[in-house]
Amino acid sequence: MLLEESLDRLGLSHPVTSAWIAQLSEPHRHYHTLDHVTHMLAHLPDAEASREMIAAIWLHDIIYDPHAANNEEASAEQALRDLSATDIDAPLVAALIMGTKRHEAGSGAQNLLNDLDLGIFGASRAAYARYSDQIRREYGFVPDDIYRPNRALVLERFDKMRIFHTPGFTKHEADAHANLQWEIGMLRDGSLR
């Protein structure tokens, strides 16, 4: 599904969707951008393309401040506000967004959103390396000696869990763990900054 098609399906006002595009284009973003939304929409199965899932894809990172620990909560709150005057199930969208905080297995819809969000883990090594660099740029304010061990801890948590739970993504599980282990190794030996 293309961005324009997804916005047509949602049927929201131009000021609302223009604000979303502006937020996803903020200069401090390098990975959590319109490109990320585009990639998720491109991998959304047609049979699963409910308006709630489309809205959750658009809004799951709508608030993104690398200095903050409450981005999902703030994004869920914005979803409730922005969708309040529509027939889209805003509480469901907010719950799906909150489920991306820990990416734990849940309902079929939650598993799909999580898999779409983490799909980059199972991408080619070149695409994953680009993602890794983009995340580092988003946290450019963090010194290397603090970033490297903390990023490695986050990735180790993912490496210990089953990442993908839907048929379209489970075939990439081994690739995801290989990519995570590659980045963890690079972070631990200091060759990735």
Residues 116-134, mean pLDDT to the nearest whole number: 98
Q: Is the pTM higher than 0.85?
A: yes
Q: What is the pLDDT of residues 21-77, one digit of tens each?
A: 999 999 999 999 999 999 999 999 999 999 999 999 999 999 999 999 999 999 999
Q: What is the pLDDT of residues 70-107, one digit of tens each?
A: 999 999 999 999 999 999 999 999 999 999 999 988 99
Domain boundaries, the chain: 3-101, 122-188
Give helix 34-42 / helix 14-24 axis angle, nearest 10°: 110
Q: Are 131 and 179 in contact (CB under 8 A)?
A: no
Question: What residue type is 23 in one-letter code?
Answer: Q
- The CA distance from 67 to 126, in Å, is 27
- The CA distance from 90 to 105, in Å, is 21
Handedness of CA 73, 81, 64, 60 (dihedral sign): positive
What pLDDT does 107 receive?
A: 95
pLDDT more than 70, % of the chain: 99
Residues 135-140, mean pLDDT to the nearest whole number: 97
pLDDT more than 90, % of the chain: 96
- The CA distance from 141 to 144, in Å, is 9
Place of tokens 């983490």: 118
What pLDDT does 192 receive?
A: 62
pLDDT band at residue 191 under the 50/70/90 scheme: confident
- The CA distance from 82 to 90, in Å, is 8
Q: Is the pLDDT of residue 190 over 90?
A: no
- The CA distance from 45 to 187, in Å, is 35
Q: Are 123 and 134 in contact (CB under 8 A)?
A: no
- The CA distance from 6 to 32, in Å, is 18
Q: What is the pLDDT of residues 98-117, one digit of tens each?
A: 999 999 889 999 999 999 99
